[in-house]
Structure 1
Amino acid sequence: MKKSLKTLSLFALVGLSFMACREKLPTIAEITVKDVDNKVIPGVTVILYGESTETPPKPVTRIDTAITDIFGVAQFDYTEDFQLGQAGFAVLNIDAKVTDDTGNTFSGTGTIKIEEEKVNEEVVYIQ
């Protein structure tokens, strides 16, 4: 009986040490911005932000901004913002806005669920 408890304890200790040493995989949010003709749009300002679910609501503390690249993609890296073993990461609102050469402003909104250690993708259409 004592020998099996020692063996079980050894396996548990080894398992915990492997979990503690495991390196996080990237947690990325990629927002692709397209127009109504389904063409990607570079140079769009994309803002990701959380919204309080408490009553009364608390002020939003996380607001992240990026500009879409030539492929119409804005990328956000949240790898350092979650802890290993955490269940789920965040659901964030998306605001996308761009002003063209003639001064017209186009915008779109959406929501993205960000799961840890994955590349999470969402498309926002602006008009």
Structure 2
Amino acid sequence: MGGMSLSLGSCNKKEDTIAKVKVLDTANAIVVGARVILYGTSTKVPVEPVIRRDTAFTNTSGIAIFNYNDVYQTGQAGVAVLDIDAKKDDLKGKGIIKIEQETENVATVFIQP
């Protein structure tokens, strides 16, 4: 028999783990070109240094996009809560974002003087 057998393994394609931070000013207007830093803070005692810092700038939609695909491996469960620092000129703001694996995670930060 010259038949050919095709076997597909059960490889699950990993979905992207993305964090999007929208930056608005006090008038609810989008802020283009704001510097956004996401970082994790250790909860261990004694406190360990910052776990990771990532910086991005907001685009024309006022959104900074971070890709965390390299942090999460397929099948690994986990949620991270990261601190957000946003700044543009003399305006700044803080917030937090919860990062769930293989999801588009979104947070909004308001910046003010």
TM over 0.5: yes
Moved over 3 A (4+): none
User: How many residue pairs end up in the alignment?
Assistant: 104
- Aligned partner of 2:104 in structure 1 is 119
Distance between the aligned counterparts of 1:61 and 1:115, measured in 2? 17
Q: What TM-score do you get using the length of structure 2 for normalisation? A: 0.88
Distance between the aligned counterparts of 1:83 and 1:51, measured in 2? 21
- Aligned partner of 2:52 in structure 1 is 62
Return the offset for 1:89. 3.1
Render the CA deviation track for 1:41-98: whole Å, top value 9, x for unaligned: 0000000000000000111130000000011000000012101222223110000001
Distance between the aligned counterparts of 2:80 and 2:74, measured in 1? 14
- Aligned partner of 2:30 in structure 1 is 40
Q: What TM-score do you get using the length of structure 1 for normalisation? A: 0.79
SS at match of 2:13: coil
Unaligned runs of 5+ in 1: 1-16, 100-104
- Aligned partner of 1:102 in structure 2 is none
Unaligned runs of 5+ in 2: 1-8
Return the offset for 1:116. 0.6
Identity %: 49
Query: Which has more strand, going by share of residues?
Result: 2
Q: Which of residues 78, 86, 98 in structure 2 aligns to 1:96? A: 86
Query: Which has more helix, going by share of residues?
Result: 1
